Homo-oligomer: A and B are copies of this chain.
Amino acid sequence: MSVVTSGRYTFPNYNLVFFIFLQLGLHSVEGVWPLPQSITSSPERYPLNPQAFYFTYGSQSAAQEGCSVLDEAFKRYFSLIFPDYSSGYGFLRFSVDKPFTVQVSVGRNDCDSYPDEDSSEQYTLSVSAGQAYLKAETVWGALRGLETFSQLVYQEDFGSYYVNKTEIEDFPRFQFRGILLDTSRHYLPVQAILKTLDAMAFSKFNVFHWHIVDDPSFPYQSRTFPDLSAKGAFHPMTHIYTQLDVRRVISYARMRGIRVLPEFDSPGHTQSWGKGQSDLLTPCYSGSTPSGTFGPVNPILPSTYKFMATLFKEVSSVFPDSYIHLGGDEVNFSCWKSNPDVRAFMLKMGFGADFTKLEAYYMENIVNLTAALNRTSIVWQDVFDYHERIPKDTVLHIWKGVPASYEAELRAITKAGYRVLLAAPWYINHISYGQDWRNYYTVQPLNFSGTEEQKKLVIGGEVCMWGEYVDATNLTPRLWPRASAAAERLWSDEKQTSDVDKAFPRLKDFRCELLRYFSFSDNAHGIPITHHRTLFYEVCLTYTDASVSLRLQAGYPGRASLCRTLQTRVPRCLIITDHVTFLSI
């Protein structure tokens, strides 16, 4: 390649400029993440003009204008589809005058409901000249289809938007696709939770498992027991979730088709509860005298169950989801063993020296409390491992990778007829070097020996972000796009997504979309949009002479226009090329 150097400015030849065009023009029309069950697309493509682009309700749709979930989604997706236009970069003249309409039809008017365990998320999407038809049974399915449509749109050739002729039939492989955030070990500001909900919707996650309290802090501000947060939160005013905060999270999640599953883990992991609720925790003994420290919830006192009944009654009134997570993991027996009253209770109940029976007794009572509130319980696998008598509709949550494999646990739990949720292979708070998303991607949740009936009991999986070393400063880069690997495993057909290397370029494209969102939403990653505009301006000045011929070919009127279009391109994808992703040594 010839380069002429003249003073401070450099004039490369046309090859370089054309190379850039090629990069801009490159777009995979199958770049939807997670991969739809069935997608066919053709090279035929249609220009989209943000000034003549409309979302409408189909005339036969059960939901019509006024349906808050879809009305808001239309606004949201308009901004996501046309970021340049919506963010003030929309100074381009779009020459396309033909309107394009996305017509959305749903079979049920569930606009005012909450998504639940039985909600259909199925949709079909048909994109043709001038219009797209999106059909779904529920508004939640329509949300999934809108997300897919937004990922089909791309920008090319100086900022024009396009979508290709496409037919999609899609539905999730698993009903439960969750992300756990732990707001006890570090407090997460509500804004960080909302941002996570946005990103979850991009990957079609549909459950936010809110591990809201634990040993280190109790940030949930209870209406009935305000001392729990007043004394048990890291800070009684700033590091809490008020009722308003919780409502805001639930509402924000609903608008994105995401359920909010609260976890109030007991009898272990409750040190922070004890600060605001006396006599709740077991007094530990050193020999024959209380040591002054406390252990798990005290399972022998009637007051414990009275407290729990009241608390869970409140919880079930605050959180609309039909599931409540009751925890039940990692109960340390040493304090119970040290306490003479507990030992006496064990004798009386005939538990001998088997404290798993005491734990079983406790959990059985708690599960029954929530069953009485018409709620389905989820508990960690420990509860199953101890063979408690628990209602058959309880969901077991697998978190242990060792010593037993999670495959063996899947087999055992489903054989016993319980529904099960898999988290063990997706502990995303774990850190390592390199592309560990591949490990998350290659999980085969149904790869255990069992009948078809057993496999149907696997309701889904969950990505867990435990909070020991995670707060608002590092949550986002640790969570995304790694969690998206699990999202595709839980949504898409396993056979079509068995090749991790084939997934890689698609995930890179998807990361680009995520970064674009995070950059626009609050410039969270320091991606210097304005700086890049400056950079491009300088580049334009430098390359003027070389691009004259090119501009003439493309019918552009002058340098200023070329520069503007180049600038406009930057925020969309160019700032986030493949190279900043996943590099290994």
Contacts and interface: CB of A to CB of B under 8 A. Distances in A.
Interface of A: 1, 3, 5, 8, 10, 12, 16, 19-20, 23, 185-187, 189-192, 195, 216-217, 221, 223-224, 226-227, 230-231, 234-239, 242-245, 431, 433-434, 467-469, 471-478, 515, 522-528, 531-532, 535-536, 538-539, 570, 574-575, 577, 579-580, 583-585
Contacts of A433: 431, 468-469
Given A12-B230, A525-B524, A526-B524, A585 B468 contact: yes
Identical subunits present: 2
Contacts of A235: 23, 574, 577, 579
A553 to B, nearest CB: 19
A239 B476 contact: no
B19 A236 contact: yes
A472 B538 contact: no
B538 A10 contact: no
Contacts of A531: 189-191
Shortest Cβ-Cβ A-B pairs, 8 listed: A191-B528, A234-B579, A474-B477, A473-B477, A10-B226, A471-B580, A473-B525, A189-B528
A65 B242 CA distance: 51
A237 B539 contact: yes
Given A234-B577, A531-B190, A577-B234, A538 B244 contact: yes
Contacts of A234: 577, 579-580
A356 B258 CA distance: 62
A190 to B, nearest CB: 6
A239 B577 contact: yes
A268 to B, nearest CB: 14
B238 A535 contact: yes
Nearest to A542: B242
A471 B186 CA distance: 24
Given A16-B236, A195-B526, 18 more contacts: A3-B226, A8-B243, A12-B226, A12-B230, A19-B236, A189-B531, A190-B531, A191-B527, A238-B574, A244-B538, A245-B535, A431-B431, A433-B468, A474-B477, A475-B526, A476-B526, A477-B477, A523-B524
